[in-house]
Chain A
Amino acid sequence: MAAPSGEAPLIAATNIEPFYVLHKGTAAAASSSASSLPSSGRARRRIDVSGPASPSSKSGKRSLDEAAVDDDELYERLRLEAFHRVWSKIQSTINEVLRGISLKLFDQVLQWVHESFSTVRSVARPCAAEVRQPYPLLTDVICRKIPTAFVLTKNAEFVDDIMTFRDLAEHLESNGCHLAKLSATELSEKNGVGGCFRSLLRQLLSDVPDVADIFALASWYSAAENYDQPMVVIIDDLEQCSGDVLGEFVMMLSEWVIKIPIFFVMGIATTLDAPRKLLSSEALQRLEPCKLTLGSPSDRMNALVEAILVKPCAGFCISHEVAVFLRNYFFKHDGTITSFISALKLACSKHFSVEPLSFLCMGMLEEDRENFWRDKFNALPQALRKYASDLPSCTWEKDATKSADNMIDGLSELLNIQKDWSSVLLCLYEAGKHGKVQLLDIFCEAVNPDLHTQKTPNLPNEKSGTSRRFIDQVMDTIRYLPVETLFRLLEVWSIHLNGMDKITNKVKELQSTTISTDSVRITKDKWPRRSTNNTGNGTVALNDKVAMLLDDVTRKFLVSVECLPFHEIICFKNVSILQSALIGNPRRMVQLDLVKSHKHLKCSCCRKNGIAVSASMHDTSIMCNLAQEYGDVINLHDWYISFDGIINSAHSKVKRKPHTSPSKKKAKPIAAESEAMIQARFCRAVTELQITGLLRMPSKRRPDLVQRIAFGP
């Protein structure tokens, strides 16, 4: 690379052209594919995962270095492939879960659409020719109303509902509705009704005519294949739309509602009176409202955590630190499921990008896992093999001769223990539900590796208390559960614990005692429901027994993945790279760059006397350090004098005081930088600070002062 400070001509075309094509991809790709992977030519990115893929076998002919580079590229592609497979599995699980939760609402909407459609058709059933006529049918005023479903989303942040409305659109479309979505940007003043119409037609018609008007829509709708279906327009973010444009749009469509049965579905984030605030009363009268409500965000979050974090759906998991970070990110940072998912996706990509063996995660998705792992392990180049045996989690059981078996056994064991872990965690959550415990909270405790090491009871209580806060809360909840609930809880447990025979037996035992005490108790006190906790010693003992069982199981099976050998392969642990990629903080970092420039430049000259600003530092860095001494405005004259003083202190050893008169100073320095040069450097530093936005230029009124924008990194 050319040195960045090198003489790139300032007026080179590539610098002053607004944009240009740096290079074309296809030609370059053709040549690089020939050099980088001679074996597979065209399909090089689609690596056959199940195939032998053993690069080490052909390395004999070539030099070792070349082979290593080839290996690197091959395994990089494998990891990329693994990421795509794992993430698409996670993504489809997410979609499934979210769709499942919203399905009830979707069906309600669909039913409403069908009802509205039949109502409209019961008024009149114009023939195709009638539909195409430019004048309206002769009907009463009532029939100018557009059936409209207002869906209350209960989300302050709209971004989570984008997915819901997309799924709703799919659901309606697959059930035979014509569908179009209009966003707030389309229903804006700038776009106007014409723009809305154009995008409506773009979604419905395959060929949008030049004149996008209602007749185009009418003639499309009158075609035989389109005629017998209702048309639904989804406006997902009502509050952000322009009331005038939407009003006009509503007025226009309402004239045609008999000919073209269009219905609205509008998402409302705030309250039901939002449409009243937004639309004119005239437009409001043209709507026939129906109110529907979405499920709560916390339900969705719990379901998601269960499906993608607790149940190992794709073989990828996260460490305790990462889990806590994600949880804080969710609760403190922005509270949207969308950002939680995108954070998880970033974590996933970081894992596959950084962890050399992460491609083995794909094994979790294979039918014959062990064979997959064995193939892959046998093909591993020496360096990776060594890496595998040196993983920190399995150093204590190193056995070089049987490392393939070691790893396969390790990974299989890992899977089994994970399965038990998630079953127990779900039991905890089932009980915790009655005490309003969120799954994400228990999850964060359950992945804590300290939890496992602390299971010996003689440890100080305070410490275990902090790491088991929610688990203890669950235990408490169980102790106060009424017997009926307890009984139902045990039933759910035996489903979750399916496959863990010993414990299921114990649960069954408890269930039988429940039934016996229950039948006695019910005849005894049928009515006083509240008194269950205090009556008969049997009940109390039973609650305790259930709690004790859970406690016992928890201590035995709630082993964090981080305590297991080979967990590095599937578990993402590097919270700091995730955090830095997720939350860019230019305001803080750019200031830190400048104030602590020597940290990045790693030079020997600038760090001599600790905090002081030295002349050898980057000019902008000097200026930024000097600026720290000022308030929200900086006097340019003084700033310049101090800058000049620092620069020249290196030349003339005499340390100047910044407030001596500048005119007297001028004559003095002989070896000093020329005045013009210092001024030029000052100018450049100010410009650079301006580019970073840390400084605002002087106003006409106060030409000698610049304004500081950011204070303290």
Chain B
Amino acid sequence: MAPRGGHAAAAVGVSSGSEDDDEEEAGFSRSYFLAKEKEPSSGKKRARAAGKLSDLNLVDEQVLRASLAEIPPKHEREVEALTRSYKDQYRNWLFELRCGFGLLMYGFGSKKMLLEDFASTTLTDFTVIVVNGYLPSINLKQVIVTIAEIFWEQTKHKRKRQTATRSQLQPFASQSIDDIISFLNNQTSDNGDDNVCLLIHNIDGPALRDAESQQYLAQVSCCPQVHVVASVDHVNAPLLWDKKMVHTQFKWSWYHVPTFAPYKVEGVFYPLILASGGHAQTTKTALVVLQSLTPNAQSMHFSSLYTKCRERFLVSSQVTLNSHLTEFKDHDLVKIRKHSDGQDCLHIPLVSDALEKLLQELA
């Protein structure tokens, strides 16, 4: 996240009244420097001495994913009660939304259910558009076009009466975002009923994290009939906005609403740390790769490889051998280092135990 404004950096500065948890503070004043001290320059050695992921008996990724879906919930009742406890605040949230503020929800736990419950029970007067900001790609223009179309739809009957002052020739989708926003800025309503609420899950999500998207969102959020309710999960989210955006456009009113609900949909797009992702060398992954190779490629081993392979009629030229080796290198099954005599030396980066096990299983 690119730092903007420095709003958040300064946010720590105001401390009047925040001395509520002094002992807490003393207990956890583990500053950055303390943390650095723990990992001194000799840390490399320590890290090497410490255990490696490959030492663990990691289960297969499919099994892992299957288990992931079956994790028994903890504190189900308490989590539900906590989420329910925010229901009392719904009226106040609505009040503030009508006062012209944007609601920004933060705190640990998925806030998707909470916000959608708020929207469907309390924001009944509003047309609510939900944006799933946690998805890796979002077309913000389509969102803005949809808002514009809703207003266009709402004012249809009004325009008919006024015999179409300036007919909308172009569809919104073919206009520029700036043009659509200036259309939105001209929307005023006599009764204040035609309001749109933009409900953005993870306004700090990966697809919305760039400055341009945030600028557009900020501009949309201060259009006269548009209200914004959003959630953030990243601790550095405030760095997305400068002062102009915070105070004159989004006009955030923060709410700390930890839910401790699992980040089910939000987490789908993150790789599983123990699913190896190509880093952790395990016999399992090696096995999978080896088994997927051609039978000829499976039996190559050492540096005088070519002669041996030739002897066994496995390869007929160095070019073929190299193409096989490239395959191995790509999957980190074989590594190359220069020997002291200048020749390339091939080796398999697996511990001997693992190698034995591998051979056993292959046999």
Most buried by A among B65, B127, B238: B127
Measured between beta carbons, the chain B residues less than 8 angstroms from A372 are none
Inter-subunit contact B273/A683 (CB<8 Å):
yes
B2-20 vs A: 1/0 string, CB under 8 Å? 0000011011111011100
Measured between beta carbons, the chain A residues less than 8 angstroms from B125 are 25, 28-29, 32
Check if A632 is an interface residue, CB within 8 A of chain B. Answer: yes
Inter-subunit contact A329/B32 (CB<8 Å):
no
**Closest CB of chain B to A29's CB: distance in Å?**
5
**Closest CB of chain B to A379's CB: distance in Å?**
21
Check if B306 is an interface residue, CB within 8 A of chain A. Answer: no
A600/B82 contact (C-beta < 8 A), A26-B127, A79-B95, A328-B16 known: yes
A647-670 vs B: 1/0 string, CB under 8 Å? 000000000000000110010000
Check if A675 is an interface residue, CB within 8 A of chain B. Answer: yes
Inter-subunit contact B127/A712 (CB<8 Å):
no
Q: Which listed residue (A20, A80, A684, A708) contacts B98, Cβ 8 A?
A: A80
Measured between beta carbons, the chain A residues less than 8 angstroms from B262 are 4-5, 684, 688
**Main SS of chain A's interface residues?**
helix
Check if B92 is an interface residue, CB within 8 A of chain A. Answer: yes
**Closest CB of chain B to A443's CB: distance in Å?**
16
Check if B38 is an interface residue, CB within 8 A of chain A. Answer: yes
Which chain B residue has the least Cβ–Cβ distance from A685?
B273
Check if A23 is an interface residue, CB within 8 A of chain B. Answer: yes
Inter-subunit contact B243/A5 (CB<8 Å):
no
Check if B108 is an interface residue, CB within 8 A of chain A. Answer: yes
Q: Which listed residue (A4, A8, A582, A688) contacts B254, Cβ 8 A?
A: A582
User: Which residues of A596-617 have CB atoms within 8 Å of chain B's CB atoms?
Assistant: 596-597, 600-603, 611, 616-617
Bound Cα distance from A328 to B14, whole angstroms: 7
Which chain A residue has the least Cβ–Cβ distance from B280?
A703
A80/B99 contact (C-beta < 8 A), A691-B234, A697-B273 known: yes
Q: Which of A102-110, A332-340, A402-410, A551-559 contacts B (4 or more CB under 8 A)?
A: A332-340
Q: How many B residues face the partner with a CB closer than 8 A?
A: 147
Bound Cα distance from A576 to B16, whole angstroms: 9
**Closest CB of chain A to B343's CB: distance in Å?**
26
Check if A39 is an interface residue, CB within 8 A of chain B. Answer: no
Check if B172 is an interface residue, CB within 8 A of chain A. Answer: no
Which chain A residue has the least Cβ–Cβ distance from B192?
A45
Bound Cα distance from A314 to B23, whole angstroms: 42
Q: Which listed residue (A325, A691, A698) contacts B263, Cβ 8 A?
A: A691
**Closest CB of chain A to B58's CB: distance in Å?**
7
Measured between beta carbons, the chain B residues less than 8 angstroms from A593 are 107-109, 258, 260
**Closest CB of chain A to B2's CB: distance in Å?**
14
Inter-subunit contact B47/A711 (CB<8 Å):
no
A585/B12 contact (C-beta < 8 A), A353-B95, A679-B58 known: yes
Bound Cα distance from A14 to B116, whole angstroms: 11
User: Which residues of B305-355 have CB atoms within 8 Å of chain A's CB atoms?
Assistant: none
Which chain B residue has the least Cβ–Cβ distance from A341?
B247
B50-76 vs A: 1/0 string, CB under 8 Å? 111101111100011111101101111
Inter-subunit contact B130/A704 (CB<8 Å):
no
Bound Cα distance from A107 to B181, whole angstroms: 33
A638/B50 contact (C-beta < 8 A), A631-B43, A680-B64 known: yes
Inter-subunit contact B11/A637 (CB<8 Å):
no
Check if A83 is an interface residue, CB within 8 A of chain B. Answer: yes
Measured between beta carbons, the chain B residues less than 8 angstroms from A15 are 112, 132, 265
Q: Which of A93-101, A128-136, A154-162, A420-428 contacts B (4 or more CB under 8 A)?
A: A154-162
Inter-subunit contact B254/A584 (CB<8 Å):
yes
Measured between beta carbons, the chain B residues less than 8 angstroms from A700 are 279
Measured between beta carbons, the chain A residues less than 8 angstroms from B95 are 76, 79-80, 349, 352-353
Q: Which listed residue (A16, A581, A691) contacts B233, Cβ 8 A?
A: A691
A549-582 vs B: 1/0 string, CB under 8 Å? 0000000000000000000000000011001111
Bound Cα distance from A334 to B6, whole angstroms: 10
Inter-subunit contact B57/A663 (CB<8 Å):
yes
Inter-subunit contact A25/B253 (CB<8 Å):
no
**Closest CB of chain B to A137's CB: distance in Å?**
33
User: Which residues of A15-34 have CB atoms within 8 Å of chain B's CB atoms?
Assistant: 15-26, 28-29, 32
Inter-subunit contact A680/B67 (CB<8 Å):
yes
- Using C-beta atoms within 8 Å of the partner chain, give the interface range for chain A: 35 or more
Which chain A residue has the least Cβ–Cβ distance from B117?
A1
Bound Cα distance from A526 to B244, whole angstroms: 54
Inter-subunit contact B79/A4 (CB<8 Å):
yes
Which chain B residue has the least Cβ–Cβ distance from A690?
B270
A601/B137 contact (C-beta < 8 A), A8-B264, A630-B38 known: no
Inter-subunit contact B248/A159 (CB<8 Å):
yes
A76/B91 contact (C-beta < 8 A), A28-B125, A637-B50 known: yes
Bound Cα distance from A25 to B129, whole angstroms: 10
A703/B53 contact (C-beta < 8 A), A80-B99, A633-B39, A711-B30 known: yes
Bound Cα distance from A127 to B122, whole angstroms: 61
Check if A324 is an interface residue, CB within 8 A of chain B. Answer: yes
A693/B236 contact (C-beta < 8 A), A22-B120, A679-B274, A687-B267 known: yes
Bound Cα distance from A8 to B264, whole angstroms: 9
Check if B196 is an interface residue, CB within 8 A of chain A. Answer: yes
Inter-subunit contact A594/B53 (CB<8 Å):
no
B185-228 vs A: 1/0 string, CB under 8 Å? 00000011111100100000000000000010000000000000
User: Which residues of B249-267 have CB atoms within 8 Å of chain A's CB atoms?
Assistant: 251-256, 258-267
**Closest CB of chain A to B1's CB: distance in Å?**
8
Inter-subunit contact A19/B146 (CB<8 Å):
yes
Bound Cα distance from A633 to B255, whole angstroms: 31
Bound Cα distance from A83 to B95, whole angstroms: 10
* 28 A–B contacts from the bound complex (CB under 8 Å): A3-B79, A3-B80, A5-B76, A5-B261, A23-B124, A28-B124, A43-B191, A198-B178, A329-B14, A333-B10, A341-B247, A342-B251, A353-B92, A353-B99, A575-B16, A584-B11, A584-B238, A587-B236, A590-B108, A630-B35, A662-B57, A687-B272, A688-B108, A691-B263, A692-B108, A702-B47, A703-B280, A712-B31
Extra inter-chain contacts (17) besides given A23-B124, A349-B101, A704-B47, CB under 8 Å: A18-B143, A25-B127, A28-B124, A46-B191, A207-B166, A349-B95, A349-B100, A590-B107, A593-B109, A611-B27, A679-B274, A684-B262, A687-B272, A692-B234, A708-B35, A711-B32, A711-B34
**A-side interface residues toward B, CB under 8 Å?**
1-5, 8, 10, 14-26, 28-29, 32, 42-43, 45-46, 76, 79-80, 83-84, 87, 157-159, 162, 185, 198-199, 202, 207, 321, 324-325, 328-329, 332-334, 336, 338-339, 341-342, 345-346, 349-350, 352-354, 575-576, 579-597, 600-603, 611, 616-620, 628, 630-633, 635-638, 640-641, 662-663, 666, 674-677, 679-684, 686-688, 690-694, 697-698, 700, 702-706, 708-713
**B-side interface residues toward A, CB under 8 Å?**
7-8, 10-14, 16-18, 21, 24-25, 27-32, 34-39, 43, 47, 50-53, 55-59, 63-68, 70-71, 73-76, 78-84, 87, 91-92, 95-96, 98-101, 104, 106-110, 112-114, 116-117, 119-121, 123-132, 135, 137-139, 142-143, 146, 150, 154, 166, 178-179, 182, 191-196, 199, 215, 232-238, 242-244, 246-248, 251-256, 258-268, 270-275, 279-280
In the A-B complex, the 9 residue pairs with the smallest Cβ-Cβ separation, listed nearest first, are A584-B254, A631-B38, A637-B51, A703-B279, A631-B39, A4-B261, A680-B67, A25-B127, A593-B108
